[in-house]
Structure 1
Amino acid sequence: MTSGMLFHAIYAKDNWGLDRRHINDLSTSKSLCLLYRLHTVDLATNGDLATNGDLASAYNKITEVIENVPVGRQARESQFGEVRLGNPSLDGYDCVIWTGDVLRALVKEGLIDLQGRDPDDVMAHARSLAGPEDATTMVNKDFGGLKIIM
């Protein structure tokens, strides 16, 4: 069992918002399609986190950075002045754009190290691992003991 804090940009009632909630067991998530480890916060080896070697301080700093990333196309464009094309049915934005912005913010603050990889490339790789665009093609296939049945 793996627990943690889930941060996700969500679109509901024609508005974008930040969903932040504790998950007791990630394996039971009904919406999680991929768990992708980017970085391990190890205060013994990552003294550059500027958190005084305190895990709670590291968590609080990471949370603060994530919560300050704009959510939604208009908020993003007004802060960054850059247009990114997202899902047209979601006001031209999507959670993948937001996640890339989060990665850039965490790298900028020195909280994670993507080892020189561009956040957009990291997101493209993660999406390729998450499965096909049409998830129905995965029904009735055996994934090493996990079988998707609809």
Structure 2
Amino acid sequence: MLHVWMIIGILFHATYIDSKWVLEQRDIRDVSASKSLVLLYHLHTISAPSDEQLFNSYEKMQKVVQNVPMGRKAREDAYGETRAGNPELDGYDCVIWTGDAMRALIKEGLIDLQGRDVEEVMAEARSLAGPEDAKTMVGVDFGGLKIM
């Protein structure tokens, strides 16, 4: 049996590997120690009266997230709309996937953005993550992390 109280979080991330998009998923104990995340942004806290119910909520979230289309073509086929992604990554990126994952979780009633919409939350997160042109961050020291 999985002891959910041992896991602090689950990292879900759309990753571009070998010219294709895949879902990275791993249990993490301290998400703030991640070397690959640009921003840690709290969306929703899952709580339940028992470990079993908490695990069931996690399983539901996992299934929803795993079914979010990966990649530009899969997304366009599923949603019938185009979003401008990174042209070097087949016109798609992890930010597009994150927005789609949030919408899917909201649709299933698994997260609540407290009256805000996904675009508003994503815009706020993007403004907190740093400048739109990350090259302007090169050489900047962020207290133990120097962007190179």
**TM-score for both structures, normalised by structure 1:** 0.83
Amino acid at match of 1:13: D
Matched with 2:39 is 34
Distance between the aligned counterparts of 2:137 and 2:81, measured in 1? 35
Amino acid at match of 1:90: L
Name the SS for the 1:17 alignment partner. Answer: strand
Q: Does 1:5 align with 2:10?
A: yes
Instruction: After TM superposition, list the pairs within 5 Å mapping 1:61-76 onto structure 2.
Output: 61-76=60-75
Amino acid at match of 2:145: I
Distance between the aligned counterparts of 1:107 and 1:9, measured in 2? 19
Matched with 1:93 is 92
Query: In angstroms, what is the RMSD of aligned CA positions?
Result: 1.9
CA contact (8 A) 2:9 2:29 kept: yes
Name the SS for the 1:8 alignment partner. Answer: strand
CA contact (8 A) 2:32 2:40 kept: no
The Cα shift of 1:21 comes to: 1.3
Matched with 2:23 is 18
The Cα shift of 1:127 comes to: 1.1
Amino acid at match of 1:89: E
Name the SS for the 2:48 alignment partner. Answer: coil
Distance between the aligned counterparts of 2:57 and 2:135, measured in 1? 36
Matched with 2:120 is 121
| Segment of structure 1 superposing worse, 27-36 or 95-104 | 27-36
Q: Does 1:148 align with 2:145?
A: yes
Matched with 1:134 is 134
Matched with 2:3 is none
The Cα shift of 1:36 comes to: 0.5
Distance between the aligned counterparts of 2:67 and 2:24, measured in 1? 13
2:48 corresponds, among 43, 51, 68, to 43
CA contact (8 A) 1:139 1:147 kept: no
Q: Which runs of 5+ in 1 are unaligned?
A: 45-52
CA contact (8 A) 1:3 1:23 kept: yes
Number of aligned positions between the proteins: 138
